[in-house]
Structure 1
Amino acid sequence: MRRPRGRTLGAVALCLAVVAALGVVVARAVADGGSVTLLANWSGADETLFRTAVIQPFEKEEHIHVLYQGSSAESQVLDGDAEAGAPPDVAVLPGPGELAAYAHEGQIQPLDGLFDAKDFNAPWTAKVDGPAGAGAHYYWLPIKTDLKSAVWYPKGTSDAQLAAAAADPGSWCLGMVSGATSGWPATDWIEDILLQQAGPGAYQQWATGTLPWTDPRVERAWRTWGAMVGAGKDTYVRPALTRAYGAVSRTAVNGRAACTLEHQASFIRADKGWRTSAQHTGSDAQFKHSTDFVPGPHTTQDAWEVSGDLAAMFHDTPQAEKLIRYLARDDVQARWSLAQSAFSADHQVKQSVYATDAVTLAAARALDATGTVRCYDASDAMPAAMRDAFQLAALRYLADPSTLAHQLTTLDAVRRRKHAVWLPDVCSKDGG
């Protein structure tokens, strides 16, 4: 092998020096305002999307470097980091119940003054108590929201076909696997059935810890769900317990598959399973309110279960404050919610933003319609221990419905534990 000449070595060294110098210049250009650590649950393609739509514009504008960590088990990661005394500066979680506990412990900082809470609809914004003597403050900022209480089906399906499918457990697209949070598609169903059958008042009592799990209305919701999806029947249960939630709708396009109905949040309409081709830019999914499918008495068709992603600040640094202020801006809210096929709780974001297709606009209008009662996803609003126990119990019930009485008694014992932090409210009407 011929040795490179001295001139070649010199050129290579010069190139390396230039690249290194440029790297330093770029790093300084981005981070001369310092850095901020951020934890959220977006990884893979979602992380790339978040970096492109949110992080990179923030870094360019504020010259603050964002040290981002994405994890599908973020609750466990955050709990471990907080226990070790090293939480991130900012974390994004779906659970206000979990954040309320951090607020009570004095681990997250009030956001009063960093955004105008009047610009955001409830139940995504709410004051909660901090440590003893600290009073009530705003401790989280909603950065995106989703509509639940929806059943999705292929475009063009007739009402008669929908009715027949709803009565067939095999028609429901059901997948329980979601890593550390497996079981949440089941809890979503049970929560929504209780909301529609028993109404927002009973739902709020249950979600805030004052209605026992053994209450007949709660039990009825469980049994209704079990009958709808074929709980205890191996034909339906085995696939559901071994299939990822995100994969179930990918065979439902145009009714060509065994499952044609999916009870899921509004983000599912963007899943490639509801699209006929890579070139198709719209959604082949339509949705109806779940009351059209849930049997039993219904108190209202104006109650929707909702969810969201909430940003909280663990360290009150100038960089963290700038990130919160940035995330609260209506242009950033609109950009990120659209990128996530979601919505913003900021009523300054006009509905025209969601006029990308008829289905998206219909979901946006449902979220903000006059008379609408919005109730936060109950398991997300509950204390973390209650949420985790609920998810596990739902999986056990799906496998063996004869255990229901035991599951509900066990869950009620968790509800009665001392020192758990429960939210005072989870439902709101119209924007209040």
Structure 2
Amino acid sequence: MRSMTRRSYAALATGAAFALILAGCSDSGNKSPDASSTGKVDCAAYKQYGDLKGKTVSVYTSIVDPESKQQTDSYIPFETCTGAKIAYEGSREFESQLPVRLSAKTAPDIAYIPQPGFLKSLVADFPDAVKPAPQAVIDNATKYYSEAWVNYGTVDGKLYATPLGANVKSFVWYSPKEFADNGYTIPTTWDELMTLSQTIADSGRIPWCAGIESGTATGWPATDWLEDVVLRTAGPDVYDEWVNHTIPFNDPKIVEALATVGDVLKNPAYVNGGLGDVQSIATAPWNEAGNGIPAGTCSLMRAANFYQANWATDVTVAEKPQDNGVYAFYLPGKTADDKPLLGGGEFVTAFSDRPEVQAFQAYLSSPEWANEKAKVTGQGWISANSGLDASLLQSPIDIMSYKLLTDPAYTFRFDGSDQMPAAVGAGSFWTEMTDWIATDKSDEAVLTAIEKSWPAS
């Protein structure tokens, strides 16, 4: 699913923001713009950026209120210690308007690109506008991010963008109390997950709940299901070939993966707990479908870490069994040693190479920024930056997600639809997966239709 702009209906990071601990800069003596803060920021780490007083860096992004406040708050130490001003603009029309601005030569200094596929198209269409990352950014990327994340910001062997936020999609939400009461254990392989599903079904309950309705983006949760399963049945190398269209969309390995998804989502004994029959998945709102877990009408739902923002206020996200509590476990691979991980995020891209722009770009790729963002967000935000201080993360799901993202035992892959051409990734892939559920269209027909929609060039 497309990050941020096409996920604006899902509250990604709506936890209450912490009070900032930045009121002044110990080296410069300048006061922080945040008058409510009570502490001081140590400017030692910011000396590398130099004196940028009187300089302004413009930022254009799809991140809008209320998340935009957390973004701008995270810039305060940089502004305080360097003297620079960050001019922030969030827009729900970001993806359509950024190319317009580039064509009109009114590009922002920096933009947050929601998906690698969009980055590649910008580099191809505006090769003189998108600036390669400066050395300080390259150094941070190499030091603090995995090779996979660096590759997703690289086009034709050149690093253009570094990750900003991140998310983990390979999760199954459940009720720890239900598991404890019934003696269920967390599955460590795909077969164990299917055995658990059957055990729950044999008890008289429908184990899974699912919903793929999401307004104009209806269908994207089903694409995430397929992507996660391709990683598990075909492996990351085939996944890359599929995403990059070096094998056809309807390759036999992808047909097999969709059939495996169907073993859950098209099995009337397994879905759709508390919501209806198989076809109800197509009309059940994604952000409400999981409510059956605390309500006791279903036991399992595959959804990303950011689903935590959709639980009712009286639902507790915790591993410890308790009434009205939910938690999540890693969606297992074929074996306990097979650890594919599906996720997403956005990337910092520059359209100017002025020193102050390069300095701010370097800050956004640093542990200092990641830590500051974690402080001001409170919960609901994570980074793949290995320099992030995990003790600053407040949600147990955030902490678990961060550990998975930075654990080399897990093989990370970016959301597939976010890497595909928009006509597929935000078009036929969504609509065909919806038809697969709503009209029981066959696996082969769905994948063949998507294959035919792939742009010729």
Same fold by TM-score greater than 0.5? yes
Determine helix, strand or coil for the equivalent of 1:316. coil
> 1:150-189 alignment to 2 at 5 Å?
150-158=171-179, 160=184, 163=197, 171-177=208-214, 179=216, 181-189=217-225
Opposite residue 95 of structure 1, the aligned amino acid is Q
1:88 aligns with 2:108: yes
Amino acid at match of 2:251: D
Aligned to 1:401: 440
Q: 1:371 to 1:55 in 2, by over 3 A?
A: closer
Contact 1:184 1:391 in 2 (8 A): yes
Q: CA deviation at 1:58?
A: 3.8
Q: 1:110 aligns with which of 120, 132, 157?
A: 132
Q: Unaligned 5+ residue runs, structure 2?
A: 1-31, 34-51, 186-195, 320-324
> Which residue of structure 1 lines up, in the alignment, with residue 326 of structure 2?
285
Change (3 A) 1:299 1:190: farther
Residue pair 2:288, 2:310 contacting (<8 A) in 1 also: no
**Partner in structure 2 of residue 14 of structure 1:** none
* Partner SS, residue 234 of structure 2: helix
Partners of 1:166 and 1:61 in 2: CA distance? 57
Q: 1:111: Cα distance to partner?
A: 0.6
CA pair 375-406 structure 1, distance change in 2 beyond 3 A: same
- Aligned sequence identity (%): 21
- 1:144 positional shift: 1.8
- Kindly indicate whether residue 391 of structure 2 is the aligned counterpart of residue 367 of structure 1: no
**What is the deviation of 1:353?**
4.3
Which of 67, 73, 76 matches 2:96? 76
**Which structure features the higher share of helix residues?**
1
Q: CA deviation at 1:154?
A: 2.4
1:221 aligns with 2:241: no
Query: Alignment partner of 1:309: what SS?
Result: strand
Map 1:322-337; keep pairs closer than 5 Å: 322-337=359-374
**Contact kept in structure 1, 2:169 and 2:304, CA below 8 Å:** yes
After TM superposition, the structure 1 = structure 2 runs for residues 28-427 of structure 1, keeping only pairs within 5 Å, are 33-52=54-73, 54-105=74-125, 106=127, 107-115=129-137, 116=139, 117-119=141-143, 120-126=145-151, 136-158=157-179, 160=184, 163=197, 171-177=208-214, 179=216, 181-230=217-266, 235-236=276-277, 240-242=281-283, 244-249=285-290, 251-252=291-292, 255-269=294-308, 271-273=309-311, 276=314, 284-291=325-332, 301-337=338-374, 339=377, 341-354=380-393, 356=394, 358-388=396-426, 389-402=428-441, 404-415=443-454, 417-418=456-457
Note the residue ranges of structure 1 that are not aligned, 5 or more in a row: 1-25, 419-432
Aligned partners of 1:70, 1:231: CA distance in 2, in Å?
42
Q: Which moved more, 1:332-341 or 1:138-147?
A: 332-341
Alpha-carbon distance change, 163 to 198 in structure 1, aligned in 2, over 3 angstroms: same
Equivalenced residue count is: 374
Q: How far does residue 272 in structure 1 lie from its aligned partner after superposition?
A: 5.0
Deviation at 1:323, TM superposition (A): 2.2
1:15-34 maps to which residues of 2 (within 5 A)? 33-34=54-55
SS at match of 2:352: coil
1:373 Cα deviation after fit: 1.2
Instruction: Tell me how far apart the structure 2 counterparts of residues 229 and 378 of structure 1 sit (CA, whole Å).
Output: 20
Distance 1:363 1:150 in 2: 9
Per the alignment, residue 6 of structure 1 pairs with none
Amino acid at match of 1:125: V
- What secondary structure, in the 3-state scheme, does the structure 2 residue paired with 1:258 have? coil
Q: Cα RMSD (Å) of the superposition?
A: 3.5
Query: What displacement does 1:241 show?
Result: 4.2
Q: Assess if the C-alpha contact under 8 Å between 1:174 and 1:262 holds in 2.
A: no
Quick check: 408-417 or 183-192, which moved more? Answer: 408-417
Structure showing greater Rg: 1
Query: Alpha carbons of 1:67 and 1:231: their partners in 2 closer, same or farther (altered >3 Å)?
Result: farther
Question: Deviation at 1:125?
Answer: 1.0
